Structure formats: structure tokens, C-alpha cells
Amino acid sequence: MTFLSFEQVFSVVNIHIALLFVFSWLISHLAYKIEKSHKFRRPLLTVFSCVTSVVVLAVLVLSYNSTHRIFERTLEQDTQDIYRYFDAEIKSQSSLQALLINSLALRPDIQGAFNTQSYDFASLADEFYLAVNASHNITHLSFYGLDKVVIYRAHGPSNNGDFINRYTLADAMRFNIAVSGLELGKHGVLTLRTVAPVFSESQVVGYIEAGMEIGHVIKKTQAQFNVEIIDVFQTQRLINTTSETIFSLTERHSDGNRLANYTLQYSTPAVLDSVDFSEIPSLASHNNTDLVIGLISDNRAFSSRPTYDYHGEFIAKQIIVRDITESLATRRNDILFILASILVASAIGFWVFNHVLQHMEQLFAEYLHKQNKQREIIETNMKSLQSAQESLVQQEKLASLGNIVAGVAHEINTPLGISVMMGSTLQQSVASFIEQLKTGQLRRSDVDKFENETSEAFNVLLPALEKAAGLIQSFKGVAVNQASESRANFDLEEVITSVLDTLKHKIKNQPIEYQFNIKEQISLDSYPGPLGQVITNLFENAVVHAFKSDQQGLIEINAVMTANQTHVEITVKDNGVGMTQEALEKAFDPFFTTRFGQGGSGLGLNIIFNIVERVLGGKVRAKSELNQGSQFIINIPLVAPGEVEHV
């Protein structure tokens, strides 16, 4: 549906584009003048000019579209109001006709005239007809017999005896009720007719028809909305009736020369004098049933809809012509007002923006001046700051390392102290034994005593030294060198089983059990030594940290091939006390432990992380909740990476 011609749309768009280019040129020219003396603002003003131009264009397009849509909706709504008003008037006249002829049909004298077939309707109905003709524009009043033959016409001419076969009369006879509808009369005039049966003693004795040419309804609608209503008939539907006859009946002109094969009926000839119907081909196509709203030509809006008779047959097109000069002027004024507002707002915005930039430029110049004077101080401060920052980083690292060194030193101090004491005791015992041996005073009891003391000393000394050596080895493990490990093809079950066999003594005197589950043979091309160290550290971590002293503990080790058959997933799980969220987040950090001074060095899990990530080429993650146990999930490839970095 089109509301403006292509030429009108093109001209409006051209005007807006021209105005936009003028505005953009003015802004660009102003920006160039300012840029020559203010280099700092040049890029910003250029960007602002471009953005403003784009915004103005977008707002113009949106404004035009919005005003056009509002204009369309207003035109459509007004047209619908006109058609609704016209239809309401027709419906009101239909109800009035039915009311009038039903009141006439209820009169006993009318019923008696039909029943006795005296048919003296002239004396009975002429006065009634004259009254309703003057007050309600009833132009037709006819009386029919049961055979559809005209008995009497109150409106003349008095050519009674005609056989009438209209649809309204046929349906009134079929249903025995009042029926109303538009029908095309023989003079080519639309007539609203209502036919009602006349009953006498519950029997239909005849029919009364009231009708009116709808010219006065059209005139009333035209006056109400200041429009012109044109009825367009196909010429072959009309009898060759003169324009004078139609004008005398409806006060509407009839013209069959404006359009080929079509006859126009209208009230004001001046309207058609300024209309070129060749520009409106859709209005001349009268076989379609579409409602056309808002076709515009020469400041006139045309709306059309088909008109059907009571039987539902298309008989004419009803066209509404409206002068929309004032509406178009209002819309143009709205667009110009919006454009002016945009231009003013843009100019004000540009001035404010330029003023702000000027102020910023001044502040920036002052800032640069101060910076130039203090550049050496700033560079010195930056170097000092970088040095301080590096020192803080080192201090942070040393602080963490200092905490673990203190704990490890404490742990090593005990076994070394015991070793020194036992070594000293052993030294004295050996010296005494040798002195007795040299002097020949050695007795059997002295030998037994020396044997017992020596054995006891070694029983204390050797475990203490082994514990100290183990602590030192674990401390060194955080920087394990992969070059010292050998790569080999091995069976996973054999490696883990052999590792667990060496760890049995760890839980010999504790209420802790372990289970190892593997359901298939899994071969790896990897590093069995580091993998064994991972299992060992996780096992010992569970033994040391997971269980309370009296808790029945269980350590489960499960190994399964992943779905893609390229990795193996090893899970070490315990049913111990679990970890807090804070401890879980730091579990793999070096030197982090919750048992400093109680046998924990804080290196075990970090060593695991480094071996799995850097040596075995896999991933390790932990899951744990308080009182719900912990589990460590290791995912490593069946074939380790060819090159690994030293850990």
C-alpha cells in the first residue's frame, strides 16, 4: 500500500540529504578553522563532526518514517471512520424502514384490505407515505400480493400489476420476516429496500415494501466529513437512463465519459475536474474485492471499497475523495520543525563540545608543562618503584619459603639431635670398650653390655637418620630433574602394585586399609619412576592428613582407560576428614601445609603437580569437602610427551 508517489518520496529524501550535506560541510569547515590553531582538538572535532552527521542522518530518516507512519495511520483511521459512519447510517435507515412498515402492517384496515382483496390502499396509505417521505426520506412505498405482483405504488407511477422478483421480496416471502438490503434500481440508482409480510389471523396475506435512494445518506456523510463520495458502476449493469433522471432522484450527477466502460455518480463536478483517473488504475479495477485506503494524487487521498447488493453480488465501487492539503502541510511543518531542532541542538552541542575541548587542552598543556619540569624526578621514582616492586615480590616468595624452612628445620632438628646424642653415646661406649680391651680388663659381662648398648644406639640412630634423609629428599623433590628419570614401556598395574607393597609398613600399626582396582591391562610409554613417586606422595598424604587417630580409614586407588583410549585416569580417594575450600584452593601450592611441626612439609602435593603436569604431560585436580573425604584425579596420556621441561 503506497501513500506517496515515487517522485514525492524522492524529492523529500533529496531535500533531507541536501540539508544534511550542508550541515556536515558547515561543521567540517568550522572544525577545520579551529584545528588550524588548536592541533590537540583536531582528531576529536573531526570524529565529533562525523558522528554528529551520522546521528543527524539517522534522526532525519527516523523522523521522516515516524511522521509518515503517523500520517498513514491517521489517514487509514479517518477513512475507516467514514465507512463506519456510512454503514451505521444505512443500518439505522434499515431499522427505521422495518419499524415503519411493520407498524403499517399491524393496522387492521391494511390487513382487512389485503384479506378482503379490496386493495383500497390509496385512501389508506397515501397520507402515511407523504408523512414518512417528508420526515424520513422514504421514497418508495409498495404493496404486493402473494404472487409478487404490485397491487399499489404510493410513490407512483401508478403502473400497478408489475411482476417484481427482487431478492429482498423473495427472502421476505421465504422466511416471513422483514428483510432489508441494497439493490440496484432500474434507473441505475442504489436503493435501500425493506420488505415485511402482512399477517391476518396468523396467515400471510400480502407484503409491504419501503425504500429510499441512498443519496441523502451519501450527502449526510459528505457533509459530516467534508469528503466527496463517488459510486462507480459498470456501464453494462445500468439501463440507459439520462443524467437528468438520476439527478432528479438522487441529486447526484451521472457521467459515463470519465472512464471507459464505467459510469460515475457524484455530487460535485468540480472534484472530478481536478482528478486524472488514469493515475489510479486500482480504482478502475472493479472486479477485485480489496479495500484500498490512502492512494494519494495531487494532494487528494482516494479510498475505495466494493459495494454488494442484498444477494451478495458486486454492483459498484464506492470511492471517497478527500482533500489532504492541510494534512500534508502539517506533516511537512513537523518534519521541518524536527530538522530545525536537530540542527540547533547539534550546533549547541558542537559549541559546548568545542568549549570543553578548549578547556581540556589548556589543562593538558599545563599538565605537560609540569611534567617536563619533573621528568627526571619521575624517571627516578619509576626506577625506585620498579626496584621496590621486585623487592616486594622476592620478599613475598622468601616469606613463604621462610615459613617452610622453619618447619622443615624443626622437623630435621629432632632426628639429627637424636642422631648426635646416640653417636656421642656410641662413641663413649666404643672408647670404654677399647680401653678395657687394651688393659686386659675386659670381662664377659662388659662384652654383653657393649653389645646391648651398641644395638640400642643403632636402633635409635638409623631411623632418625633415615627420617632426616627423607625430609631432605622431599625438600629437594620440588625441583626434580626429569633428566635423571628413565622412560620405559611398562604395565600400570605392576608399577602401582610394587609401589603399594613398599608402603604397607606405613599403615601396619594404624586402622587404615587400602584397595587397588584396575579392570583391564593398561600399558604406558612413560616414566614409571615419577609415576611411582606420585602414587607414593598421594598415599602418604592420605595417611598423614586424612584420618583422625581413631578413625577407620580406607584409601582407594582406581585406574581406568578414558573413552578415547588415549589417556588413563587414576583416582586416589580416602574417606577422611576432607579439606576446607580455602585449603583445597591452595592444595598444590609449594610449602603449603596445615601441619607444620607435625610431620608436614608442604611439598608433597606440589611435587605431584609438577611431575604430572611437566613430566607425565597430564592434568591433576582435587575434590574435597569437610568430613566427606578427598580424592585426587590424575589424567595422563598413555604415551608421554617426547620433550619435557625440567621440574
In the structure, what pLDDT confidence band is assigned to residue 169 with cuts at 50, 70 and 90? Answer: very high
β-bridge partners, 316: 233, 307
Phi then psi dihedrals of residue 251, to 5 deg: 60, 30
| Alpha-carbon torsion (362, 363, 364, 368), positive or negative | positive
| Alpha-carbon torsion (473, 477, 480, 485), positive or negative | positive
Q: Are 318 and 231 in contact (CB under 8 A)?
A: yes
Q: CB 551: neighbour CB atoms within 10 A? A: 14
The DSSP call for residue 236 is G
> Per-residue pLDDT for 236 more than 90?
no
Q: Which of 207, 189, 190 is nearest to 198 (CA)?
A: 207
Q: Which of 553, 642, 545, 542 is nearest to 593 (CA)?
A: 545
Q: How far apart are CA 571 and CA 633, in angstroms?
A: 5
Structural domain boundaries in the chain = 401-475, 482-637
pLDDT given for residue 2 in this prediction: 39
pLDDT given for residue 402 in this prediction: 47
Q: How far apart are CA 496 and CA 515, in angstroms?
A: 11
Q: Which of 177-191, 206-220, 501-515 has the lowest mean pLDDT?
A: 501-515
- What's the mean pLDDT when you consider all of the chain? 77
Only one residue has cell 601450592, namely 589
pTM, 2 dp: 0.49
Q: Which of 110-114, 162-166, 389-393 has the lowest mean pLDDT?
A: 389-393
- Quote the Cα angle for 135-91-188, to 5°: 80
What average pLDDT does range 331-359 have in this prediction?
A: 69
Which three cell numbers, joined as nine digits, stand for 98?
422495518
Q: Which of 557, 571, 566, 567 is nearest to 497 (CA)?
A: 557
> Per-residue pLDDT for 26 more than 70?
no
Instruction: Enumerate residues 6+ apart whose C-beta is below 8 A from 305.
Output: 83, 291, 292, 317, 318
Q: Which CATH architecture has domain 482-637?
A: 2-Layer Sandwich (3.30)
pLDDT given for residue 483 in this prediction: 37
> Long-range contacts of range 16-19, CB-CB < 8 Å, 24 or more positions apart?
16/60, 16/61, 16/64, 16/339, 19/60, 19/339, 19/343
3-state helix, strand, coil in the chain (%, to 5): 55, 20, 25
HSE-up (13 A, CA, CB side) for residue 125: 30
**Beta 253-259 vs 262-266: how paired, if at all?**
antiparallel
Q: How far apart are CA 555 and CA 543, in angstroms?
A: 9
Q: How far apart are CA 112 and CA 223, in angstroms?
A: 44
Three-state DSSP at 621 gives strand
What average pLDDT does range 522-530 have in this prediction?
A: 89
Q: How far apart are CA 209 and CA 170, in angstroms?
A: 12
Distance from first CA to last CA of the chain, Å, rounded?
Answer: 77
pLDDT given for residue 398 in this prediction: 43
In the structure, what pLDDT confidence band is assigned to residue 596 with cuts at 50, 70 and 90? Answer: low
Q: Are 498 and 531 in contact (CB under 8 A)?
A: no
| 179 vs 435, higher pLDDT | 179
Q: How far apart are CA 71 and CA 293, in angstroms?
A: 12
The DSSP call for residue 330 is H
pLDDT given for residue 410 in this prediction: 55
